[in-house]
Structure 1
């Protein structure tokens, strides 16, 4: 038989393995089928993962032929690999197939598998398929080759036989001159013909063979003699050839032309359409009487019922056949891809077409086409789901959706990178596979504690801490090992408890008491620009105590980090700043300041002989100035002594530009210390300190400095009607107030009362409301007696067992200007008059208030030193800078049973003490000053019982 000619050529590259250890394939590894005229073998890729593998074919003599790409296209084999499996297909007319009567076909394959450890296994499988009857001409279009087989029987003589007379006339000269007993082939190419022996054709990659009744020609799509011909707009790869055999005086010519579609695929968003010509005109030269078409997938024909179930359609008209399948159909598969760093997928399916037709030249013809189709790249926007659980202080984020062929290789959190296949204490990583209709989707779940060092923590103000987690996912598509990345940023904010501070002073020191917040462990304390530690406190003479809930800091008024704010007729005003900074960025998160006035008697001396000795301290606003360049009115009068912090002057009353004037019983000498900008010595001084000495007959006394600061531009507020209201709140949040119709309000003994005093209708943010005195009476008349004091000169009544509590006011939807509000809390008490058996059942509350301009005048401000949030303490300014008024609440009814107590008459309450109020949170200065309070009770019988 002529088919052995091919083996004669291939034997030179084959090898006989005398001793091969053969094994039976494990269950599930190999799956075999006969699909029409094709051997089909499926290899489970699970068994091949991470291993080297090779498929070979074995002929009847035991020779082994590796299935390489060239061998496959020449000999009729196809190896297709996807993510899930390896598919091996072979034509029943392939090389090494043992053919019995062109009806039974036997093939032996060998699969070699070896691991990285060097251990190799060899599995052998023998396949047997039956195929008949054959059509007169059968064309098989595979993924990597096209094949034609035709009958080579000598036909009977017919009178009108003239088939392909033109082509045969071209072949006849070669056939006549050819040697006997040799098969040859003539290829018809543009402009002529090309004749080859079978051996020459083999060398060029063709496969030519014969069986008992058929002759076969097989060629790769890229063969030199192949041409692309458009038929009905569909490109076909066409090889026109005539094979012949000469034996003595007989010449057998056989038409072995073949044509296969190489495209015809179009896509919409959801549908793949494959169009082929109904008549392959390059190889059909006579009329077609009838035809029949079937479609399928993976080489398997599908019936109408199965096609309908899967939404497949096969349409045909006079010129074309069209197969349509949905993208994502179950017979195909998705594969991950990366294009320009973006993740996406492609869908692939192996479409199958069988077309039969009858024509006058051949009778019945059959063409089978296996056509792999892959969609264009479909970008897949990745889904990042933030399932963070703030209550557990845990970032929880899910990234998806990926196909199962995507693996996570590395995580970069913040600036640190971590392989995901190694254990760590920083994060937990999980991957999970879910099913979406017919597609498996993989997601990656990441958990990172918010207190992890890879999380950026930052205080952003208003009691809010922000936690930021920057993530870079490094992923790879297997088995191609294509790497891509995805970045994400998670931001979560948490409300925190801020530290709260109180400040006060004595004659020598300034004291700050801080109640710790919830995140103080992340904040570093500073005094000025020096970090506060126990060592630095000891070095600078501070007293520092911390009991876990409170920090107490006592700073001497002349300590190194204390700054001088001003000198005026109240004395020298000093301040120290306490700052809390982030322990990573050192950003200032919040600060408190304590400011106090101290005596300046040591800084000015008016001697009886008229000489004046002045020591000028460099104030905070002048820290960048050179103290040696300070001068008096007479610019020639320079400091007698100076250093980095102060300048000292000594001069007589009739020198250095000193002027004299008389006022009532005093003779007054006045001068001033000034400082000019060097670049503008003729302009107004940037600093001016007025000084004076007052002399009385037979006496001399010290008068403190008057510090003038060049005024800054200011907004002049408008004026209008002033309305004050005092309301009782239902809770400490001041979110729900009693309305006018709710009074009288009933309260039990010791219930807390939450009062709010508000300035209505005024839109001027430069106005601030202060409480001077608040008291209770038994009638709506605020001047009625007896009176029970609650707030005395802006401070809580320290003679009271349960002192008043002030509450800060912050901006919200209801509160536009916090400075127009004051809030305080007082516990409900029993009011008695005369004999303690006489109990007042209904009381009214009243407050006297002061409205002040916020901008300072002559270094003085309005009263209000005990009110939270007030920054500076001063004495009452002139009437042109403040207004006084009063306001009252509705009636409050006391519900209690008061026992009879011994009568007690309080006719005079005198309390002499130093009051050091003020506190402000979140970077606002705390002001403290010395005040002596004396509370004189009304001379009547009164008492306050709890």
Structure 2
């Protein structure tokens, strides 16, 4: 007959600082000499060294054995739960064996199987802003997503993500979780942009709403995040390109470009201005394209030779409120020289003239001169000559009209080799090729001054070939600036002045500034009639 009594711990377990703890008396049978504790999960015991590596703790305190196991230990069971927010709980199937020995080496083993459950633990997922400003793209990481939770949808600033524009990549982590990387370009229409003109900064903001579901129940919960990126803003910058017929500019629009204005000189660049000066302007929601044909308003020219010259065009970017220049785009391009004339603001006439039809066989353009035969070409080849001289020198003739003043000179050949004559009309013996520069009187600061010529704008140049040089064709004219269509040039009154230079014999009194244009012109007409007959 055997009298057997079995005793078991009634402890239900508790959760403390990441451990599930369970207690049992050290000696259920006090008459036994010693007790050894072995632990494991799911009905399998493990060696003491393995248990220690996995974070198991077995302590004796006041004749009580305390067993502590990490709540997320391998072999346990984890489950997600949605209750407003995302929670999780862990279940451990604990297996404990107590071995007691008598003096006669007879073992008594007591095995315990129990289920320990953690309380509901909040499991927050997180977002991390991994954006690099230089990439101009938001990069946002959603992390610590449990295995049984899947990403169902993503809304950015209230818009469902577009797979063709936005990139979402799943990232697997070694701790049995995963994450998702979201990429959204700064220039995407869904991105909110906030400008600070005071600080010259642009703030990009992305409000993200993640929709996640717990499987297999398909319970849904949401995670909301907001990320920002701050960049310094700069005035718009054009890209310039040289063409055969002129210079082109391109500007890619940005949402904050409205803070600035674009101008050519002091004039705002508008469709009306482009039409007035002959520019080709195209402007849509993506970019602005401006094609500036050569010899239109706004060009600056330099290094003129018979082989070529350089043309420079500048676009200014101004503050919309103060009109102060913030930046500029300057493009300089080389162009070949054919026949041209330039009238600068400082009163210099530069012309490359084709003389092939104007000189006799065997003649050389290098032997030509202006009205003053001391003013020869700066450069010449077999058919062309380059002249550059102040408009009031080299015997130039001044023609004064109501609103304009014209400086005119002529190209003559040496007397031994004259220009070709019209065989029908012998009165063309003295015909030469005329060079003209016309300036508006309103833009001249000093008129006929011996010290300095100063004009607000460049002049309009013309090269006039006598008709009989081209066998009845119309005169050849080259202009570097379009004449405003709202103005008409009155036929000028010719004032033939002295040749060296004509300006030094002509002075304007100060009281003329107070006269009306009509009275001012009358004064010059009378003065010329009485003194220049």
Query: TM-score when scaled to structure 1?
Result: 0.26
Task: Give the number of the structure with larger relative contact order, counting CA–CA contacts within 8 Å between residues 6 or more apart.
Answer: 2
Bigger radius of gyration among the two:
1
